[in-house]
C-alpha cells in the first residue's frame, strides 16, 4: 500500500479526500490517503505552504513532494535537495488564468474603462482598432503564458512572447534573452506578466524596461508581485509613460490599505483572483503523478531547481 499524506490547508482536506480517492481508484493505484500518517510511513506528500508541515526531514521513506501551488518559490527551500518536487499545472487553473487575461486584455483593447467612467452625456463615437492592429506581449511562456498567448492570437492580436529560454509557439512571435526582451517590449501596447518568481525575474519590469515600451502602454500582472519594481511603475504611471496597470498580485498580500496603488487613478487592483487551483482537476494531476512515479515514468511538471520553477 502506498501512503499519501495530504499536507495542504486543513480546510481543503474534506474536498480533496474523496476526489483523490476516486482518482486513485480510477487509475488503479493502491494508495491510502490521510492527513495524519506518521512521518516514517509516508511515500508521497501533497503539499502547500499553508498546510501543517514545514519540516520534511522526519519523512524518511518519502519518494516525492507534489505541490498544490503553481508557484514553488516558498516550497523549494522546504524540500530536501534531490527530492523530486512537482508544481501544480492543471487544466482548471490554466483555463481560469486564460479567461482572466483575455478579459482584461479586451477591456484595454476596447477602451471599456472610458465608457464606464465617463458617463458625461457627451456622444463621442470612436471605435477601437481591430485586434490584428494591436500588439500584445506575454512575458513568460510556461503553461499559463502559452495558453494565454494562444488564446489572444486566436482572437487576432499580434502576440509576442518572451521567455528566458527560446520557445516555438505557432501564431506567437517568440523572443528570449536581453535583445529579445527589447524587441518584445518595443511595440507592446499591452504587456502581460506571467513569469515565475525567481531571482532572475525579480523586477523584470523596472525603470529601464518600462522605458522601452511605447508611451501609454498598459500593464497586466496576474503572475507574481516581485516581477514589478513598484516605485518604477508608479513613476512611469505618473509621467504617462505607462497609461494604466491592472495588478492582481503584490509583494505583500493583502495589499496594505496605505499602499499608493489603491488611490492611483491609473491602477486597477484585483485581490489575487486571476486564477486558482481547481480541486477536481488538481486531483487528476496528483493521482497521475503518483501512478507515474510507481510505474517508473517521468513525473509531470517536475521543478528544475536550477531555474527555480
| Segment 80-102, tens digit of pLDDT | 999 999 999 999 999 999 999 99
| 34 and 118 belong to one structural domain | no
HSE-up of residue 254 (Cα within 13 Å, Cβ side)? 5
User: Does 193 reside within a domain?
Assistant: yes
Per the DSSP assignment, residues forming a β-bridge with 34 are 5
| 67 and 134 belong to one structural domain | no
Omega within 30 of 0 (cis) for the link into 254:
yes
CATH number, domain containing residue 65: 3.40.50.720
The arithmetic mean of pLDDT across residues 55-63, rounded, is 97
| 98 and 199 belong to one structural domain | yes
C-alpha cell at 105: 486584455
Could you say which of 9, 272, 278, 305 is catalytic?
Answer: 272
The arithmetic mean of pLDDT across residues 99-115, rounded, is 95
Does residue 263 have a pLDDT over 70?
A: yes
Residue of 42, 36, 1, 41 whose CA lies nearest to 17: 36
User: Does 287 reside within a domain?
Assistant: yes
| 257 and 182 belong to one structural domain | yes
The pLDDT score that the predictor gives to residue 120 is 72
CB under 8 Å to 222, separation ≥6 — which residues? 97, 100, 101, 192, 193, 194, 248, 249, 274, 275
pLDDT band at residue 119 under the 50/70/90 scheme: low
Maximum pairwise Cα distance, the chain: 72
How many other C-beta atoms can be found within 10 angstroms of the C-beta atom of residue 154? Answer: 12
| 284 and 264 belong to one structural domain | no
Interatomic CA distance for residues 273 and 123, integer angstroms: 34
Interatomic CA distance for residues 2 and 103, integer angstroms: 43
Lowest mean pLDDT among 55-59, 169-173, 264-268, 274-278: 274-278
Does residue 194 have a pLDDT over 80?
A: yes
| 96 and 73 belong to one structural domain | no
Decide if 251 is catalytic.
Answer: no
| 100 and 240 belong to one structural domain | yes
pLDDT band at residue 122 under the 50/70/90 scheme: confident
Could you say which of 224, 244, 291, 301 is catalytic?
Answer: 224
Give percent of the chain with pLDDT exceeding 90. 94
Average pLDDT, the chain: 96
Residue of 66, 97, 307, 68 whose CA lies nearest to 194: 97
| 236 and 105 belong to one structural domain | yes
Alpha helices in the chain (DSSP H): 13-27, 91-110, 112-117, 143-154, 177-186, 207-212, 230-239, 260-263, 279-295
pTM: 0.92
| 165 and 23 belong to one structural domain | no
The pLDDT score that the predictor gives to residue 118 is 66
The arithmetic mean of pLDDT across residues 52-58, rounded, is 96
| 68 and 36 belong to one structural domain | yes
Q: Quote the number of domains for the chain.
A: 2
The arithmetic mean of pLDDT across residues 296-300, rounded, is 98
| 146 and 173 belong to one structural domain | yes
User: Does 302 reside within a domain?
Assistant: no
The pLDDT score that the predictor gives to residue 116 is 77
Query: What separation, in Å, do the N-terminal and C-terminal C-alpha atoms of the chain show?
Result: 31
The arithmetic mean of pLDDT across residues 197-211, rounded, is 97
Does residue 124 have a pLDDT over 90?
A: no
| 130 and 169 belong to one structural domain | yes
The pLDDT score that the predictor gives to residue 125 is 85
The arithmetic mean of pLDDT across residues 106-114, rounded, is 95
H or E, element range at 176: strand 173-176
Sign of the Cα pseudo-torsion (105, 210, 238, 248, in order): positive
Interatomic CA distance for residues 63 and 137, integer angstroms: 39
- Which domain covers residue 130, as residue numbers? 92-269
Decide if 244 is catalytic.
Answer: no
Amino acid at each position: 500500500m502506498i501512503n499519501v499524506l495530504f499536507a495542504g490547508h486543513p480546510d481543503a482536506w474534506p474536498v480533496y479526500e474523496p476526489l483523490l480517492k476516486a482518482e486513485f481508484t480510477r487509475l488503479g493505484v493502491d494508495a491510502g490517503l490521510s492527513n495524519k500518517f506518521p512521518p516514517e510511513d509516508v511515500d508521497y506528500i501533497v503539499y502547500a505552504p499553508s498546510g501543517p508541515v514545514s519540516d520534511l526531514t522526519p519523512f524518511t521513506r518519502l519518494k516525492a513532494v507534489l505541490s498544490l501551488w503553481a508557484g514553488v518559490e516558498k516550497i523549494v527551500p522546504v524540500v530536501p535537495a534531490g527530492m523530486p518536487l512537482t508544481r501544480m499545472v492543471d487544466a482548471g487553473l490554466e483555463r481560469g488564468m486564460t479567461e482572466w487575461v483575455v478579459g482584461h486584455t479586451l477591456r484595454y483593447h476596447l477602451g471599456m474603462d472610458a465608457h464606464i467612467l465617463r458617463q458625461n452625456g457627451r456622444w463621442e463615437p470612436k471605435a477601437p482598432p481591430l485586434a490584428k492592429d494591436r500588439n500584445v506581449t506575454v512575458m513568460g511562456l510556461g503553461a499559463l503564458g502559452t495558453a494565454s498567448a494562444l488564446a489572444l492570437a486566436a482572437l487576432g492580436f499580434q502576440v509576442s512572447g518572451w521567455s528566458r529560454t527560446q520557445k516555438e509557439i505557432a501564431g506567437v512571435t517568440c523572443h528570449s534573452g536581453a535583445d529579445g526582451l527589447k524587441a518584445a517590449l518595443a511595440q507592446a501596447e499591452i504587456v502581460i506578466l506571467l513569469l515565475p518568481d525567481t531571482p532572475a525575474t525579480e523586477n523584470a519590469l523596472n525603470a529601464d524596461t518600462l522605458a522601452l515600451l511605447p508611451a501609454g502602454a498598459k500593464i497586466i500582472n496576474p503572475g507574481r508581485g516581485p516581477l514589478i519594481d513598484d516605485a518604477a511603475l508608479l513613476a512611469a504611471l505618473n509621467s504617462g509613460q505607462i497609461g494604466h496597470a491592472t495588478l492582481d498580485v503584490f509583494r505583500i498580500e493583502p495589499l496594505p490599505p496605505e499602499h499608493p496603488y489603491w488611490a492611483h487613478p491609473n491602477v486597477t487592483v484585483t485581490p489575487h483572483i486571476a486564477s486558482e487551483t481547481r480541486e477536481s482537476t488538481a486531483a487528476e494531476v496528483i493521482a497521475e503523478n503518483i501512478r507515474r512515479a510507481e510505474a517508473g515514468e517521468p513525473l509531470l511538471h517536475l521543478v528544475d531547481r536550477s531555474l527555480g520553477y
